[in-house]
């Protein structure tokens, strides 16, 4: 009796252990080659384990057990499967046996595996945002199959061949670089159309029955099982639309609407569990669990890292915005007529910071190991809020750009950000960051440094406040500004002097024109 050990596979560079999610088959059951027997959950994604041979399953790890990479999951007693098909009716069974491999052989020989491509040096995993095609659909070469979302940008995945799509990872799944997303069966439709000609009518009738009631029928995927568990829905009550009747994530999400509908027409007087269901429906309070996107997880990880790895400090000042507002009011129409863009506050702040960075280069530097790297150029990152989260596209060489060039570049990058079309190159390499919380009504804040940069300027809302000018109390539009900086490289004198210099330039905009 030969035994095949199935162990925990390598599922990612940073993954060292997995948890047995759920067993699809039971101990002692007969399994077929490539049949799903259980699911594994890691800290990044869920994976399905398939049988490596026909035989009898012997489970060695139970649901909930945590195993290291290479740990023993189960054993397949391969010899048990061999005698099983032998005693079946000899003449009748022999006919369909060669027919099945004949139909599947050309398909298996022409399967194209689509894997997660390398999308950037620092990107190690992606999330499947959504599928444009469904499992079993016929796709054409270069047709967009799905969208992949990394922690920095969104990418489209085109088909590498024409054929029938077989989805491996569902929408919402997080996969490492190189993992299989789907398979394309090239010429799969041709082999099916050729099969009915020589084979009797009985064979095509049996095929759909086998697919509809296959081993996966009624079994949820790992993602679907989690959703059904949270909703308290029994998998047996859900109709699966996946391959072989498997319950997909979409089926589980729809089950929330189907569950109360099924409970209402059910025999009301006899159903004891219907009584506790009533108070739950009457309770107006609710709770939802939404999986974090790759971008949100990366933002969270980086912000915590900055707080832990830098000596961050924030200094504040206030800016009288009246001179800038008067200059904008005077020339905004002519500016827009000539350049085709409006004259906004962001160009004033970007230009002022670019000039101040040239005078205080330590604010424009960053730490690399035991060295401090000084940048002689000002690539300023502008924080843009999108539906996916906060992104920071970079305005390159801002110190050499005019007001009109800065405005046009900011508008272009902001549009790409909101359309999820920013590339990784457009968000890398900034030397200093500006964030404007004032557009949301923020009066004062302490922005967090955008690593590996050493400083970030926070803008806030403009509020009319009483101030003393030349010994008189007057009302002026005042904005509080904040500079968060890494005290490891930037001393208090440099940080305060930098912010004062920005204040001087903004309160006397003619300095921008004269460069003084």
Query: Which residues are tagged catalytic?
Result: 487, 491
Asked if omega into 96 is within 30° of 0 (cis), the reply is no
The DSSP bridge pattern shows strands 455-459 and 432-436 to be: parallel
Residue 368: which residues within 8 A CB-CB, separation 6 or more? 452
Rounded CA separation 502/457 (Å) = 10
Map residue 90 onto helix, strand or coil: helix
Neighbours of 220 (CB within 10 A): 27
**Inter-axis angle of helices 322-339 and 492-507, nearest 10:** 60
Rounded CA separation 39/62 (Å) = 11
Rounded CA separation 3/75 (Å) = 6
Listed residue (175, 122, 189) closest to 146, CA to CA: 175
Q: Are 305 and 448 in contact (CB under 8 A)?
A: no
Listed residue (129, 109, 261) closest to 183, CA to CA: 109
Rounded CA separation 255/244 (Å) = 19
Phi, psi of 417, deg, nearest 5? -65, -45
Rounded CA separation 140/161 (Å) = 7
The DSSP bridge pattern shows strands 30-31 and 125-131 to be: unpaired
Neighbours of 12 (CB within 10 A): 21
Residue 428: which residues within 8 A CB-CB, separation 6 or more? 394
SS (H, E, C) 279-343: HHHHCCCCCCCCCCCHHHHHHHHHHHHHHHHCCEEEEEEEEECHHHHHHHHHHHHHHHHHHCCCC
Instruction: Label residue 135 exposed, middle or buried (CB < 10 Å: 0-12, 13-18, 19+).
Output: middle
Neighbours of 20 (CB within 10 A): 22
DSSP assignment of 326-392 equals HHHHHHHHHHHHHHSS---HHHHHHHHHHHHHHH-GGGGEEEETTEEEEPSS--EEE-EE-SS-EE-
Q: Are 315 and 492 in contact (CB under 8 A)?
A: yes
């Amino acid at each position: 009796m030969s035994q095949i050990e199935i162990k925990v596979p390598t599922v990612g560079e940073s993954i060292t252990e997995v948890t047995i999610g759920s067993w699809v088959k039971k101990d002692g059951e007969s399994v077929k080659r490539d049949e799903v027997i259980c699911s594994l959950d890691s800290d990044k994604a869920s994976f399905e384990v398939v049988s490596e041979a026909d035989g009898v399953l012997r489970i060695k790890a139970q649901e909930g057990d945590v195993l290291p990479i290479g740990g023993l999951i189960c054993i397949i007693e391969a010899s048990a499967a061999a005698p099983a098909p032998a005693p079946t009716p000899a003449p009748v069974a022999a006919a369909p046996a060669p027919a099945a491999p004949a139909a599947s052989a050309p398909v298996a020989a022409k399967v194209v595996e689509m894997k997660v491509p390398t999308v950037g040096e620092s990107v190690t995993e992606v999330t499947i945002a959504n599928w444009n095609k469904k499992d079993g659909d016929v796709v054409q070469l270069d047709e967009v199959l799905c969208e992949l979302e990394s922690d920095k940008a969104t990418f489209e995945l085109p088909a590498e061949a024409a054929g029938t799509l077989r989805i491996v990872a569902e929408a919402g799944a997080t996969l490492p670089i190189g993992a299989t997303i789907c398979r394309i069966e090239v010429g799969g439709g041709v082999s099916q159309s050729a099969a009915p000609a020589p084979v009797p009518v009985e064979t095509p009738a049996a095929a759909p029955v086998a697919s509809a009631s296959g081993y996966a029928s009624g079994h949820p995927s790992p993602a679907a099982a989690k959703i059904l568990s949270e909703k308290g829905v029994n998998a047996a009550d859900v109709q699966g639309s996946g391959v072989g009747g498997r319950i997909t994530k979409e089926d589980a999400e729809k089950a929330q609407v189907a569950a109360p509908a099924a409970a209402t027409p059910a025999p009301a007087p006899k159903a004891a569990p219907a009584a506790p269901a009533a108070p739950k429906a009457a309770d107006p309070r609710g709770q939802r669990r939404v999986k974090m996107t790759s971008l949100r997880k990366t933002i969270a990880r980086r912000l915590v890292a900055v707080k832990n790895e830098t000596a961050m400090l924030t200094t504040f000042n206030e800016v009288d915005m009246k001179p800038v507002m008067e200059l904008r009011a005077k020339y905004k129409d002519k500016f827009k007529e000539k350049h085709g863009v409006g004259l906004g506050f962001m160009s004033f702040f970007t230009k002022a910071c670019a000039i101040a960075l040239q005078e205080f280069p330590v604010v424009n530097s960053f730490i690399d190991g035991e060295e401090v790297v000084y940048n002689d150029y000002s690539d300023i990152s502008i924080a843009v809020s999108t539906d996916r989260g906060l992104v920071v596209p970079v305005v390159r060489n801002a110190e050499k750009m005019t007001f009109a060039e800065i405005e046009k570049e900011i508008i272009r990058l902001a549009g790409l950000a909101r359309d999820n079309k920013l590339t990784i190159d457009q968000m890398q390499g900034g030397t200093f960051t500006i964030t404007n919380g004032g557009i949301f009504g923020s009066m004062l804040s302490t922005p967090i440094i955008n690593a590996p940069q050493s400083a970030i300027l926070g803008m806030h809302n403009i509020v009319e406040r009483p101030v003393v000018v030349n010994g008189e109390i007057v009302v002026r539009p005042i904005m509080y500004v904040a500079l968060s900086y890494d005290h490891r490289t930037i001393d208090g004198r440099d940080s305060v002097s930098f912010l004062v210099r920005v204040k001087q330039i903004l309160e006397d905009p003619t300095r921008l024109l004269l460069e003084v």
